[in-house]
Structure 1
Amino acid sequence: MTLDASSILWLAAILIVASLVAGFLAGLFGIGGGAVTVPVLFSAFNAFGVDQSLTMHMAVGTSLALIIPTSIRSLFAHMRKGAVDRTLLRQWLIAVPLGAVAGGFLAAILSSEGLRGVFAVIAFVLGIRMAIGRLPFKLGDDLPGRLGRSIAGFIIGAISAIMGIGGGVLNNTFMTLYGRPIHQAVATSAGVGLLIALPGVIPYVGSGWGEAGLPPFSLGYVNLVALAVLIPLSMLAVPWGTTLAHRLTQRQLQIGFAIFLFSVSARFAWSLL
């Protein structure tokens, strides 16, 4: 598909806006921004004429690569405020990356429609949870023991790698269900995103290597041109979100997070119609 100059400029503008929003959300919710960049990249690759069987994998793989720098920036910003659960991150140094690698390989065998369906369903379920707010019950007074945490970390890593997100949508829910404050969950999620993205991107590079029909300057399912636009602008916006996160109440963060998740779910559900 051939695009004229105005179409290329329009797509560039969309990527610029998306990168700023992704960075802002990485700081605000402790997420890698993938829930924003995946649908935008999916649309952009479709517009450039990439085969539709490849566009979702390209969007997810490129999104995971973007999460690496944004999560690093977000993690250090939250660590300066002393809100990160460093003990949990140390205990997840093996479980979360293993889950991310497993999820990446599973995504490679899923269809584009399958990936979009997973994205829409999980985002909707988690949005309902955050919209409800404080539940009349807790799963425990504190996080489960080492085995329980490892199982949870593996699942969070696997689902996040399939969706191309940094795990904040899952880790925030996990920690708050066990009585942890939302601010600590948000801050810790920045570190979880790094544990997911670093190993999780490897299967997307490997499984897409040499695939026919990939756009120029692609390493497997990771496109370097999109990253060149997204990385610097998203990193610029991370501190804005971090600052706002520590000014909002727990309920305000929950409502904002729920609205965000519902919008993501609706976007991908619509794409399947």
Structure 2
Amino acid sequence: MRQTLETSIYSASFTDTRFFAFSRRHQRLGRIDTPVPLFANSSILKAATYYDTLFSVGFSESSLSALDNKFPENESPAIDINDYGYDSDSDLSDYDETAPSENEDDVPSQQESNESPVQGDVGEPREQPGAISAGKLGRTVIVKDAALRTYTALIFYLYTGEITFRSLTSSQREPSANAESSRSCSPKSMYRLADKLGVEELKRLAFEALKANLGETNIVQEAFSKFTATPGFEEIRSMELGILRQACRSTKVQSDLPQMMRRAVRGELPHAEEMVDSLIRRIIA
């Protein structure tokens, strides 16, 4: 059953809604590209209490079009990394910046975008299964602020109530087999998306997964990250500040924190102003 549901996400055979989510990041050129289609069945999604939210927050510009693999011609197959809003999103795959091609400045063509493989397990491209009914119409949404991997996990969660999170890169933990599946995602990426959509239970699950990934080895790095500084993420900042205080006597934190504070003083971390202010207030309180 789970395999059937996962397969349906990449096929329009039994669906009436199509999302295009971007999958790759090109840091040097400052863009996110390679959109890949995902499909959803509204009759299944209606069983979830979050269905109305899915289509009422941020998707007012959806359009009625054929449910095929072709990216809409009136949309750009690449977006500026600043417009994406989360340039460190670990759910995006990265181009090999060390091996530039002659055409690296070109935006992926319409054909390239339409033929982009869906990523299965890490490093393994997977062809999109299932025949797509010619001329079948449905709603099309271009997702410009969440990665393909994150959105796949979201749809699967709305179908089943199940979610698998990957370990934070900063935690240096060995990934489990389940965490590397195509429907797993970063807890930070999902927290950001669930917060935007108002999917509170999923947001809570992402919060708990993020918290479980924090410790003395990575708390300083995460506490001063752009993600933690996101406006409205007060509970993230409060939680990480608490963990930082608990770990402040560890050798790792005592080594990392002064270095991070020096960077903040030099103006290298303008986004971390609130975290620095909170630390100072805790010290003098």
Return the structure number with greater helix share. Answer: 1
TM-score, normalising length: structure 1? 0.25
TM-score, normalising length: structure 2? 0.24
The answer to which structure, 1 or 2, has the higher relative contact order (CA under 8 A, 6+ apart) is 1
Return the structure number with greater strand share. Answer: 2
